[in-house]
Amino acid sequence: MDYKKKINWNNYILSLCPLFLILYISNETYAIDYRAFYLAGKSVINDLNPYLNHIAIDTDFYGPINSELFKFSGWKYPPLASYLFVPFAKLPYELSKNLFNLVSLLSCSILTFFIIQKRIFLINPTSLIIFGISFPLLATISRGQIEILIVSMALVSLYFFNKGKIFISAFIIAFLGFLKIFPLALTISFLRSNQVKKFIIYIFISLLGLLIINFIFCPIEWNQSFIERILIPWDEMPLGELKELPNNLGVIKDSMMVMTSDSRNLFHSHYFVFGFANPLLSDNLLLSGIIGSIGAFICLLKYSNYSSVLCFLTIMNWINIINPISWIMGLIWYVPLFIYSFDKVKSSGKVILILPLILPPFLNASGYLAAIISLCILKIFKKESLIKYAKV
C-alpha cells in the first residue's frame, strides 16, 4: 500500500448509495429479532423477568413470531445484557428499532473510515457497494439483528491485539463471548502468538469478572430462567398462560405483515431472510463444534505465518459452522474477509468471492461456500498480492 498517496474520499461517496435501500427496509420492517432485545430492556424497566413472555400483563409486550403465546420471550442472551437495551426500550418502538439499525450501520461505517484513514489495508469502494446490497446485510437489518455490532467489535479486538493492547483485546472477545458464546472461537487466531498465554489469562479474568457482575446485578430468578431458556430446543417451546392473542394483535392472515399495539402494521420478515448458514448440522451442536473448530485450526496453520489479519478473518467464517443454528445473517462474519481480499484476488476470483453474499438465501449454501473460500483464499490471490501483503 502506498502510504504517501493521498486518499481520494470522492471514490467512496458512491458506496453510500445502498444506504437508501437499507434505511427503507429498516423503516418498513418490524425487526422481530430486535423486538426481543427491546422487550428485554422494557422488562428490566418494569422489574420483570426478561426471559418470560408478559403479554398477559400488557399487550405492549407482544413479540411476533419469536414469542407469540409461548411461556418464554425471544430473549436468550445472559441476564446482564438486558441492561444494554434499557435506553432503547425507553423510546417508542419504531423509533427504537430504526435507531438500533442506525447504530449498527454507524459502527461498521466508522470502522471502515478508520481502516481507510489509518491505511490498515486497502478497501475498494466497489466491495462496499456489493456489501451494501448483499443478502446478509439486508437480512440483518430486516430482522434487527446484533451481528454487525459484534463483528465490528471483533475487528476492533484484532486491532488492539496487533497494537499490543492485549487486555483490551481479550476483554472485547470475552464480552462478545459472554453475549454469544461462539465468538470465543476467535481465540484460536492468537494461539501461535507470543502473547497467547497473557491473552488467555485476560480472557478468563474478563469472563470471571462479567460473571460476578452478572450475579451481583441480576436476580437469581433471571439466571435460572436464562439457563432454562437456552436448554429448551426452539421447536419444543412450552406455551404460556394465554390461549389466544388479544384482539388486533398477531400476524395478518395470508400476508407477511404483523399487527401490534405499539407500531404501524409492518413486515415481520422478507423472503431474503429465510436461509441458513449451517443447515446440515443444525441438530448436532457437538459435531458442528468439532468440524468448525477443525476448520478454524486449519486456517490458523495455513495463514498465521502469512498474515495475522488474514488468519483472523478466515477463522471468523468458521463461527457459522461452529454455531449449528446460524441464519443467513451470520454471513456478516464473512464480510471482513470479502472486503479485505477484494482487491487482492484475480479478476476471475472476484466472482467466487462475491458468491456467498449474493446467492439466494433459500439455497442454504452461502455459509459452506464462505468456509471453503476461507480455506482456499490464497489460490485466487494475485501473485503480487502474495508478496506485497505478506505481512499485512
Cα 260 to Cα 92: distance, rounded to the nearest angstrom: 13
Looking at the structure, tell me whether residues 256 and 324 fall in a common domain: no
Looking at the structure, tell me whether residues 132 and 43 fall in a common domain: yes
The domain boundary, picked from 206, 236, 270, lies at 270
Share of the chain above pLDDT 90, in %: 75
Looking at the structure, tell me whether residues 251 and 286 fall in a common domain: no
Average pLDDT of the chain is 92
Looking at the structure, tell me whether residues 21 and 85 fall in a common domain: yes
- Candidate from 13-22, 140-149, 213-222, 351-360 with smallest mean pLDDT: 13-22
- Express each pLDDT in 271-281 by its tens digit: 888 899 999 98
Looking at the structure, tell me whether residues 92 and 119 fall in a common domain: yes
Domain that holds residue 280: 274-392
In a domain, 179, yes or no: no
Amino acid sitting at position 143: R
The domain boundary, picked from 227, 248, 270, lies at 270
In a domain, 281, yes or no: yes
Model pLDDT, residue 344? 93
In a domain, 257, yes or no: yes
pLDDT (average), residues 177-205? 95
Looking at the structure, tell me whether residues 159 and 258 fall in a common domain: yes
Q: Where are the beta strands (DSSP E) in the chain?
A: 250-251, 257-259, 266-267
- Express each pLDDT in 35-75 by its tens digit: 999 999 999 999 999 999 999 999 999 999 989 999 999 89
In a domain, 210, yes or no: no
Q: 267 phi and psi, to 5 degrees?
A: -70, 130
Looking at the structure, tell me whether residues 241 and 313 fall in a common domain: no
Whether 355 shows a pLDDT value over 60: the answer reads yes
**257-259 and 266-267 as β-strands: parallel, antiparallel, unpaired?**
antiparallel
How many domains, in total, are found in the chain? 2
- Express each pLDDT in 291-318 by its tens digit: 999 999 999 999 988 889 999 999 999 9
In a domain, 203, yes or no: no
pLDDT (average), residues 145-173? 96
Looking at the structure, tell me whether residues 255 and 390 fall in a common domain: no
Whether 161 shows a pLDDT value over 90: the answer reads yes
In a domain, 176, yes or no: no
Model pLDDT, residue 4? 58
Model pLDDT, residue 391? 45
Whether 236 shows a pLDDT value over 90: the answer reads no
How far does CA 11 lie from the centroid of its chain?
28
Looking at the structure, tell me whether residues 6 and 88 fall in a common domain: yes
Model pLDDT, residue 282? 85
pLDDT (average), residues 172-177? 96
DSSP letter, residue 307: -
Strand order in the sheet with 266-267: 250-251, 257-259, 266-267
Q: Between these two residues, 391 and 197, which has the higher pLDDT value? A: 197
Looking at the structure, tell me whether residues 234 and 279 fall in a common domain: no
Model pLDDT, residue 388? 54
Q: Between these two residues, 290 and 232, which has the higher pLDDT value? A: 290
Q: How many CA atoms lie within 13 A of 130 on its CB side?
A: 20
Looking at the structure, tell me whether residues 240 and 116 fall in a common domain: yes
Looking at the structure, tell me whether residues 3 and 59 fall in a common domain: yes
Model pLDDT, residue 387? 65
Cα 384 to Cα 232: distance, rounded to the nearest angstrom: 51
In a domain, 193, yes or no: no
Q: How many other C-beta atoms lie within 10 A of the C-beta of residue 286? A: 9
Whether 368 shows a pLDDT value over 70: the answer reads yes
Nearest to 193 by CA among 202, 183, 205: 202
The domain boundary, picked from 236, 252, 270, lies at 270
> What Cα–Cα distance (Å) separates residue 107 from each residue in 112, 150, 155?
9, 10, 11
In a domain, 184, yes or no: no
